[in-house]
A and B are shown apart, each in its own frame.
Chain A
Amino acid sequence: MENVLQIVWLIPFLPLLGFLVNGLGRKYMPKAMVSIVGCGVILASFLMSIWVFIHVREGGGYVADYFNFIVVDKLKIPFALQVDELSSLFLMIITGVGFLIHVYSTAYMHEEKPEHFGRYFAYLNLFVFSMLLLVMGANYVIMFIGWEGVGLCSYLLIGYWFKNVAFNKAANKAFVMNRIGDLAFLIAIFWIIAKVGNANYADVIAFAKAGKFGASDITVITLLLFVGATGKSAQIPLYTWLPDAMAGPTPVSALIHAATMVTAGIYMIARSNALYSLSDLTMHVVTYVGLATAILAATIAVQQNDIKKVLAYSTVSQLGYMFMALGLGAYSAAVFHVMTHAFFKALLFLGSGSVIHAMSGEQDIRNMGGLGKKLKITSFTFLMGCIAIAGIPPFSGFFSKDAILLSAFEENKALYAVALLGALLTAFYMFRLFFITFTGKFRGTEDQAHHVHESPLSMTLPLIILAVLALAGGWVGIPEVFMKGGDKLSAFLSPVIPVKEGESPGHSTELALMAISTIAVLAVIAFSWFRFRGYQRKGEAQGLAKVLENKWYVDELYEKIIVKPLQQFGSFLNDVFERSVVDGLVNGVGRAVSYSSRQLRLLQSGQVGSYVLLMVLSMLLIFVLQFFLRK
């Protein structure tokens, strides 16, 4: 064995094994066994990921080449897995958070029938497999396999309760919107292969570094990759599927639609940073799309009443931040935020799951309130999550968000101001959510009040662990200003993501910015405390609030400008074009053949004489053609 990392294939393989066992045995296996298999394989992968992480930290990355996946003429796509600083970090996040969510799911999904329970864990394992393949692939094609795999699992899990039509529609929406992005991604891969000759990261990056890409090629490729990322990572204009994806079970929302899958776009761009750094245009597009998404989603989240929808828009908004960071060239800050976001957003989703579980499926926060007294662990950990996402030191969100805001400040002051506004909005809607849900008086029915209870240990334990991570997860990236060499993450990632060079705004400015953002966030929290501590149900929202509650009418807009015209075009084709042109053509051909054969039949008189006449005429024709037309 030339390198111990040759066995990294086990990491994705184990969840695949779990998928096969759970998927095939779902009718025969008891729930306990499904749980053990489902969680066990992820735990094993997680332990291996730690082992890989340690190895990579000591000895750098490694590409494990197993066999040729596609061989066409000179084009060779190997089935190769790559573990390096970036992918090992993602491995840890995926398997670690994934394991906690698996454990949580065993309790959350306990009321399902054994068969569906097995199906759920099979999907979940398949998802982890695909996601691991996505981050471990050593070329864009393997990444694309994982990319499609996670899309499929997302679809399957959103539509997990497949008897509900609305849920199926949400699943379809997610799938179709992802396809739009995937098409762009696929074209980008083709383009890369056409230019570079293969799709291996190492070759592509070397090609890019050697400056062999044309300026327009690089712009088109990166823009197409970005379009792919907007589909998967829910950015404008393809973000509307993510809030609808909340139809799936809450742990799924936590794992797929908050912590891991939606960050695939970030991973992809971070992985291709060598390409992106070559195109200023794309970088600007990424920045502004990210910023716009962050602000738009944050404003929508302010007026949502579904606990999961608030978190969904929050996710979209945070992803927008990450894209903004990518666009600003702060790739490591984006990856850092992916990590901390995975912790606190998974925590928040699982916390909301716990609340929903306690409220017997109720998701509307207007019917909650005062739950803090009854759900002590849940509310406490939820509060930790809110503080983390709001960005108050020393919680993890502070460090990652601060890194992004700082890079925005370096780029452009106005950008910083808008980004800060987004951060304040985040704090506002998160604490609105917290106060309405956990403080004040209970507004639900008597029945619900009687039933409210704290969740079992298998649900609260992941919450506690994630809360600790949400607190401490940011300490790997402490800015230089507090601690020399504190930014271990950037240093660790530097082989894959070059450290951004440029003059720092200076320690005093940096400290001032932090102070400003922290004070502003605290002020916003206080404001929301006064506003929402005694929340009472109000009538219909008016004015801007109504627009926000209806998500800026973006879904309606899409319906109007894309879906409706397409449907009308389709029905036009069906009613007019199909009937008159296509049918007319087909039937016309039929009628013409039948008519002409009725006429031609008369030639077949049976009279030998007429046959001879025709024969002579044909001979004549042949002679004419032969002698005169040939020249």
Chain B
Amino acid sequence: MNITQILVGSLSVITLFSALMVIISRNPVHSVLWLIVTFFSISGHYIVLNAQFLAIVNIIVYAGAIMVLFLFVIMLMNLNRETEPQKNKWLKLAGVLSGGSLLLVIVAALHTGDIKAMAQVKEGDIGLIGTLGKELFSTYVVPFEISSILFLSAMVGAVVIGKKE
């Protein structure tokens, strides 16, 4: 068991635990905070996989922009443990059971297929900013520009929806 495996293992534990805490926490603010932890640990995975660009983008976009947005909204609405609506326990049980059995089914399916492939860790340069940037601004330049239009329209949409009538 080398250091990489230990690193990946502990990151995985943190990811799963914090994701679970997202859905378990009664208080929405706690959920958001746990979600940020999740995103950071996923970024950690990206770093281990030597996908540095995505690790940075993940932190900036998700942990930075999106989660702040969530936090703002929750605080704006003043949501807390007391206002949190709760489903009845049978529905909760049904949800957990169906999600769990989905997990079970797919794990079983994966188990039957004997997969030998390995993922490169700590090496390879495809995840580096330079490599991806060249590709992004040559082959993928049109989608890239289109995504800026998408952002523009999303911004306009958010403003239109959000403004008082």
| Contact between chain A and chain B defined by CB under 8 Å | yes
Residue of B nearest to A624 (CB): B105
Interface size for A (C-beta < 8 A) is 10
Q: Contact string, B86-107, partner A, CB cutoff 8 A, digits 1/0?
A: 0100010011001101100110
Quick check: is A620 within 8 A (CB to CB) of the other chain? yes
Collect the chain A residues with CB atoms within 8 Å of residue B94's CB: 613
**A431 CB, nearest partner CB in chain B, Å:** 101
**Would you give the shortest CB distance from B54 to chain A, in whole angstroms?**
28
Chain A residues whose C-beta falls within 8 Å of the C-beta of B87 in the assembled complex: 609
Which of B87, B91, B105, B108 has the most C-beta atoms of chain A within 10 angstroms of its own C-beta? B105
Residue pair A617, B98 in contact (C-beta under 8 Å): yes
Closest CB in chain A relative to B134 CB, distance in Å: 39
Chain A 461-479 interface 0/1 with B at a Cβ cutoff of 8 Å (1 = within)? 0000000000000000000
Interface size on B, residues (CB 8 A): 13
CB of B109 within 8 Å of the partner chain = yes
**In the complex, chain B residues whose CB is within 8 Å of the CB of A624:** 105
User: Does A623 lie within 8 Å of B109, measured CB to CB?
Assistant: yes
A417 adjacent to chain B (CB < 8 Å) = no
Other-chain contact of A613, B98, B106, B109 (Cβ < 8 Å): B98
Kindly identify, within residues 600 to 631 of chain A, every residue whose CB is under 8 Å from any CB belonging to chain B: 609, 613, 616-617, 619-620, 623-624, 627-628
Identify which of residues 532-586 in chain A touch chain B, using a CB-to-CB cut-off of 8 Å: none
The answer to whether B102 touches A619 (Cβ under 8 A) is yes
**B98 touching A620, Cβ below 8 Å:** yes
Q: Which residues of B contact A616 (CB under 8 A)?
A: 98-99, 102
Q: Is the CB of B99 within 8 A of A627?
A: no
- Give the complex CA separation of A617 and B97 in angstroms: 10
**From B113, which residue of chain A is reached at the shortest CB distance?**
A627
CA A17 to CA B105, docked complex, whole Å: 83
Residue B112 interfacial (CB < 8 Å)? yes
Q: Which residues of A contact B99 (CB under 8 A)?
A: 616
Chain A positions within 8 Å of B91 at CB level: 609, 613
- List 18 A-B pairs, Cβ < 8 Å: A609-B87, A609-B91, A613-B91, A613-B94, A613-B98, A616-B99, A619-B102, A620-B101, A620-B102, A620-B105, A623-B102, A623-B105, A623-B106, A623-B109, A627-B105, A627-B109, A628-B108, A628-B109
**Interface of B with A (CB < 8 Å)?**
87, 91, 94-95, 98-99, 101-102, 105-106, 108-109, 112
- By a beta-carbon cutoff of 8 Å, the part of chain A in contact with chain B is 609, 613, 616-617, 619-620, 623-624, 627-628
In the A-B complex, the 3 residue pairs with the closest CB atoms: A627-B109, A623-B105, A616-B98
Known interface pairs A623-B106, A627-B105; 14 further A-B residue pairs with C-beta atoms within 8 A, sorted by A's residue number: A613-B91, A613-B94, A613-B95, A613-B98, A616-B102, A619-B102, A620-B105, A623-B105, A623-B109, A624-B105, A627-B108, A627-B112, A628-B108, A628-B109
